[in-house]
Amino acid sequence: MRWFQYGVFCPLFRLHGHREPRIGFGAGHSGGPNEVWSYGEEAYEIIADQLRLRETLRDYIHQHLRAGSPLQRPLFVDFPDDAPVWTVEEHFLFGPDLLVAPVTELGAALGVPTGVGSGFLYGLSQDGSAPADNLLRPLSVK
């Protein structure tokens, strides 16, 4: 599920991976079923929500791709004067307006650059200090 959530905020959203059983064919191998419905009913609802979220971002994605700057980029691109963000490796910007913070463990800290506004998704507190209890936390930058 994390892969699907992460994929929403990648320029190219592809739903593939390596699932068992490994199936040989011709010159290569394929994994088990990878369609959104093949993960079970509970997972399907979560994945379907992510697909709907991606769809709501369609115009945003097209607008910023046409602008010519990288859609997915490190924080220091938009916050060059905020020294601490030069060492942030886990968070990234998706366009100029969304900061995405993949959560890889419960309680992970979130370092929010100076100037980040409100409009957080997934219930994050205004200062970004809430413990990480979601798989992914995108939040509004501007």
Q: What is the pLDDT of residue 43?
A: 85
Under 8 Å CB-to-CB from 3, ≥6 apart: which residues?
A: 17
In this structure, the answer to whether residues 82 and 136 fall within a common structural domain is yes
pTM for the model:
0.69
What is the CA 4 to chain-centroid distance, rounded?
A: 8
In this structure, the answer to whether residues 73 and 139 fall within a common structural domain is yes
Whole-angstrom distance, CA of residue 4 vs CA of residue 71: 18
**31 pLDDT tier (thresholds 50, 70, 90):** low
In this structure, the answer to whether residues 85 and 138 fall within a common structural domain is yes
Is residue 63 in a domain? no
Q: Can you give the residue range of the structural domain that contains 121?
A: 69-142
Which residue from 121, 79, 118 is spatially nearest to 96, judged by alpha carbons? 79
Domain boundary among 56, 83, 102: 56
What average pLDDT does the structure give for the chain?
Answer: 74
Q: What is the pLDDT of residue 46?
A: 85
pLDDT tens digit string along 39-86?
Answer: 888 888 888 988 999 999 999 999 998 988 899 999 899 889 988 889
In this structure, the answer to whether residues 75 and 31 fall within a common structural domain is no
Do residues 142 and 96 lie in contact, with contact meaning Cβ atoms separated by under 8 Å? yes
Q: What is the pLDDT of residue 91?
A: 83
Q: What is the DSSP letter of 71?
A: S
Is residue 25 in a domain? yes
Q: How many domains does the chain have?
A: 2
CATH number at residue 88: 2.60.40.1180
Which is higher by pLDDT, 136 or 2?
2
Is residue 61 in a domain? no
Residues paired with 108 in a beta bridge: none
The string of DSSP codes covering 82-133 is: -GGGGG--S-EEETTTEEEEE--STT----PPTT--S--STT--TTS-S---
In this structure, the answer to whether residues 128 and 94 fall within a common structural domain is yes
